[in-house]
Structure 1
Amino acid sequence: MTHLDPTTLPPIDPTDPASLDELLSEDEKTIRAAVREVLDAVAEPCIAEWFENGGIPNIRELTRELGSLGVLGMHLEGYGCAGMSAVEYGLACLELEATDSGLRSLVSVQGSLAMFAIWRWGSEEQKQEWLPRMAAGEAIGCFGLTEPDAGSDPASMQTRARRDGSDWVLSGRKMWISNAPYADVAVVWAQTDEGVRGFVVPAGTPGFSAPEITHKLSLRASATGELVLDGVRLPESAMLPEARGLKGPLSCLNEARYGIVWGALGAARSSIETARAYAKDRIQFGKPIAAFQLTQQKLADMSLEYIKGYLLAVHLGRRKDADRLRPEQVSIGKLNNVREALEICRTARTILGANGISLEYPVIRHQNNLESVLTYEGTAEMHTLVLGQALTGESAFR
């Protein structure tokens, strides 16, 4: 047996103590670096102000920038989409959320919900009309499923679509819809006599409106709104022809949840790096607080949970690239990584003390954002029951 001399090995990188970078290919690292470079230039200098002011003033310019970068629908093929791997898409989500969950939500809703719905379930005409513009960031999409009284139970949605001659007429309300206030197109799901069907609704259609939801204390850099459908008349060609029943919207949610598995790690990484740097600079009792055992325990525990979450994300990404990823496995990733990322942010906040609640540091912003991420695309309770059913064969939903 060969015995390695530890002194000949490269030193530990405190930003990557488990050498997780060795799991990635050079192409994956290049894509990650390209996303980071653009975010550092166009978003990082402004993100705290956008959060504090409750919106991104140059949202269309930013969306076009993201389109030029190739991250909008980047895991889809054709129609101007980049056709990247699931792991490459995950790394982009991680970097986006390291800046802010609102930016990852913008990209996720655009690519994994609105674009994926059209790409997977739409007609060729719908794909040609919308996907190239959405991939370029020239058109913004949103996804209308959640309702005021139908969140975790989408089967109870009240929005209805009825036939009127050769047209469809939609009536109802959707709630908590990211991108809605500035979306050019909405994918809306409604009950019909044929079951749940999806519709592509241009924002200018008479009877359609998307008032913004204000007074949020989370995801403040992301615009959230209602979708109000007051007798919205659409041609037959507006229906997504391949989607019948809840399989359509749930497949889209699964795509978005996969991005969250990675994205939550970005908020966690940013908080860990902030807390570690702060602990090395903050002097108390004559030495940096990084020298105290309890601070080191916090940093060690945060790093361990991040490492485990990252390993899980890479594993799920490799399975997705091999077409072997089950929805229940995505639930495992979403449940674990968001829950642990939120705890990491809370712990990082304690290291910063009173400074932890200031927007001069990103930690409280990440923490507040993750409170929403914990809830959307399936609450922690719902993903717990998905895993519970997989483990026992018994459904506890009803």
Structure 2
Amino acid sequence: MTVSDLLNLDAEFSAEELALRDRVREFVDRRFRPNIADWYERAVFPTEIVPEMAELGLLGMHIEGYGCAGRSAVEYGIAMQELEAGDSGLRTFVSVQGSLAMSAIAKHGSEEQKRRWLPEMAAGRVIGCFGLTEPNAGSDPAGMETVAVRDGDGWVLNGRKRWIGLGTIAQIAIVWARTDEGVRGFIVPTDAEGFRAEALEPKMSMRASIQTELSFEDVRLSEADRLPGATSLRAPFECLNEARYGIVWGALGAARDAFDTARDYAGERRQFDKPLAAFQLTQQKLVNMALELTKGQLLALRIGRLKDAGRLERHMISVGKLNNCRVAIEICREARTVLGGNGILLDRSVMRHANNLESVRTYEGTDEVHTLILGQHLTGENAFA
């Protein structure tokens, strides 16, 4: 049990769940923490650690069969929390690969597509990205401009996607496009003629991560490249909900790490002949941070248990994503004040986490989008239009 666990929430997890947590935490501490400041400063995602993440069963870990770990929703959430305690970019890699790209194939792909791609992706030998957001269609994916037109027995794809994680290192892209038959999904090989991926740089957030713009110019696809189970916008939204669920847990990992950093610093740093932790205002900050962490953890666990029981409703994910991102970024900002000027240095994690969470708070649905989802649930009125 950590100091921030005010209610002994560890007792709510099984021995198997805690063992998974400890394995992922050890991996993050050993392979990631010693190098993250350098990677963040140089804007590098360390692809060399992907095989070890695959060995831990983290890629597509919630998917059954096809070489995937078949872990529970709570176990997936626990892993996302530990990864994001290292850095949001680390959790984002696993989220894009598993919750988005692999989930799209697992949920909507043919049996042949599942057998071809999922084992390779679970092993980290094939990286996938997920192309939904566009330059002119962020929070409103229904306004997408990318189109796929039937041409004989195949398709021709044209358009652009923006803010696409992993695009420059992916071997396949899951791309959503308008067709005469409605929105459809396609598995697009990134070496296809007419496909281009360009990194979006420089960034002040998510620097140890990869965000890209994809463009498609007369990219020719076969009917076998289409996801046969994806017949409307509901299909990509089902994948987004998987990613949003991971964020409910992941954001708390960043917040917990910031809290731990601030608490340790307050115990070590002395001012006016006593540690910062002995001052009332510092204790108030630490108490408020720990309270929000505890409440956020209870929320994540409740949502996870509901998901495992098959009783999770769409609006519940919005409750978790909206609340936990909001409190996580406030915890990181408050932690920075405890560290004073030292809080802006990369050898302390708090400012890095706060900067990353600006992106996490935005992607997979902004605060505004999730607020309107909840507003519609509470009132029955659609305020999106």
Q: Would the TM-score normalized by the shorter structure come out above 0.5?
A: yes
In the alignment, what sits opposite 1:374?
A: 361
Cα contact 2:170–2:190 (8 A) shared by 1: yes
- In structure 2, the residue corresponding to 1:74 is in which secondary structure? coil
1:94 matched to 2:81:
yes
1:334 matched to 2:321:
yes
1:260 is matched by which residue type in structure 2? Answer: I
* Alpha-carbon shift at residue 313 of structure 1 (Å): 0.2
Distance of 1:178 and 1:90 partners within structure 2: 20
1:388 matched to 2:375:
yes
Structure 1 length normalisation: TM-score? 0.96
1:114 matched to 2:106:
no
1:27 matched to 2:16:
yes
Distance of 1:252 and 1:75 partners within structure 2: 12
* Alpha-carbon shift at residue 129 of structure 1 (Å): 1.0
Q: Please report the RMSD computed on the Cα atoms of aligned residues, expressed in angstroms.
A: 0.8
- In structure 2, the residue corresponding to 1:384 is in which secondary structure? helix
- In structure 2, the residue corresponding to 1:87 is in which secondary structure? helix
1:344 matched to 2:331:
yes
In the alignment, what sits opposite 2:167?
A: 180
Distance of 1:130 and 1:48 partners within structure 2: 33
The structure 1 segments of at least 4 consecutive aligned residues displaced by more than 4 Å after TM superposition are none
1:46 matched to 2:35:
yes
Match of 1:259 among 246, 254, 270: 246
In the alignment, what sits opposite 1:8?
A: none
Distance of 1:273 and 1:65 partners within structure 2: 26
- Structure 2: gaps (5+ residues): none
- Structure 1: gaps (5+ residues): 1-11
Match of 2:146 among 138, 159, 180: 159
Distance of 2:359 and 2:243 partners within structure 1: 14
- In structure 2, the residue corresponding to 1:240 is in which secondary structure? coil
Distance 1:13-1:242 versus aligned 2 partners, 3 A rule: closer
Identity %: 61
Alignment map for 1:130-209 (pairs within 5 Å): 130-209=117-196
Match of 1:210 among 194, 197, 208: 197
In the alignment, what sits opposite 1:311?
A: 298
Match of 1:78 among 50, 62, 65: 65
1:299 matched to 2:292:
no
Alignment map for 1:50-65 (pairs within 5 Å): 50-56=39-45, 58-59=46-47, 61-65=48-52
- In structure 2, the residue corresponding to 1:77 is in which secondary structure? coil
Cα contact 2:145–2:178 (8 A) shared by 1: yes
Distance of 1:15 and 1:337 partners within structure 2: 16
Match of 1:236 among 214, 218, 223: 223
* Alpha-carbon shift at residue 14 of structure 1 (Å): 2.2
Distance of 1:268 and 1:78 partners within structure 2: 33
Corresponding residue pairs, total: 385
Cα contact 2:269–2:276 (8 A) shared by 1: yes
In the alignment, what sits opposite 1:226?
A: 213
2:382 is matched by which residue type in structure 1? Answer: S
Distance of 1:219 and 1:19 partners within structure 2: 32
Distance of 2:221 and 2:51 partners within structure 1: 28
1:52 is matched by which residue type in structure 2? Answer: E
Cα contact 2:4–2:294 (8 A) shared by 1: no
Structure 2 length normalisation: TM-score? 0.99
Tell me the alpha carbon deviations over residues 270-315 of structure 1, each in whole angstroms, 9 at most, x when there is no partner.
0000000000111001100111111000000000000000000000
Distance of 1:301 and 1:18 partners within structure 2: 14
Distance of 2:52 and 2:129 partners within structure 1: 18
